[in-house]
Amino acid sequence: MEFTKKILITGGAGFIGSHVVRHFINKYPEYRIIVLDKLTYAGNLKNLDDCIDKPNYQFIKGDITDKVFITNLFEEYAFDGVIHLAAESHVDRSIISPDEFIYTNIIGTLNLLNAAKNIWKEMDGKLFYHISTDEVYGSLGATGYFTEETAYDPNSPYSASKASSDHLVRAYHHTYGLPTVISNCSNNYGPYQFPEKLIPLIIKNILEGNPLPVYGKGENIRDWLWVGDHVSAIDVIYHKGKNGSTYNVGGNNEWKNIDLVNLVCTLVDKKLNRTEPTANKLITFVKEQQRNTLIL
């Protein structure tokens, strides 16, 4: 079969990435989808078990921080597009090990940009799509939403590294004419999410009878986005996004952390057929200063 496009999806064995891969493979059988993943703790090939027999799927294990490897990969496959999801992505881990976030999120993105810039002699039909986070905007207040015009105000090594990679993508668009789009999403949730993130962590800890850590008084507000809705937005942005533009993707679904944890407790109790509220007794309030000692 002759494919009309060859698309590289980095971080494709991870949580969001595996959903993107599955969607593109099934919806666009005329696209050849090359999945690149380092297979760290957050990447799992089992997430893609239902894709391995598809004729337009190919998996490659590799590290985006390896400049020579990335250059050779672009030369061999001559990709038409990149959907870049590979990233270290957990705030608390970035507090403990910031170096990993700098290497992967900044140097890794730089390597991909340089490879695209050097290989794509003809830019028509090419696209570098960088998927980022709304963490680059800082903390959301009690009212209002982040917009594409919101000033960057990163507050953690993770968000600072993602902000830097966003700026690099914009710089390569304006400096070298590289065709790019960026999207900044809110907190995703859904199947295959690694249990360091809030919702799967709370579910896992309830089932195991472990404490449910909530920072401060749980007053921090987050917008929550179903991963399937995010994937639909990624599809639209990839195919219809304006070159050089940035798009925010959210769920219009804001919750205080404590309210969300209480809701998950109620739902899990119901799922377990408990007649009395039980899970919320495991809630443990943790000082913000303890974030550097906990992996959540």
Q: Which two tokens stand for residue 86?
A: 């590979």
Handedness of CA 169, 175, 181, 186 (dihedral sign): positive
99 is catalytic: no
What is the SS3 assignment for 266? helix
From 37, 63, 88, 135, the catalytic residue? 135
What is the SS3 assignment for 167? helix
30 is catalytic: no
158 is catalytic: yes
Determine the Cα–Cα distance for residues 254 and 242; give it in Å rounded to an integer.
28
From 57, 137, 158, 238, the catalytic residue? 158
φ, ψ of residue 132 in degrees (nearest 5)? -125, -160
From 63, 134, 166, 223, the catalytic residue? 134
Q: Which residues contact 38 (CB under 8 A, 6 or more apart)?
A: 61, 62, 63, 64, 86
Termini Cα distance of the chain: 45
What's the burial of 75, exposed, middle or buried (CB within 10 Å: 0-12/13-18/19+)? exposed
Active site residues: 134-135, 158
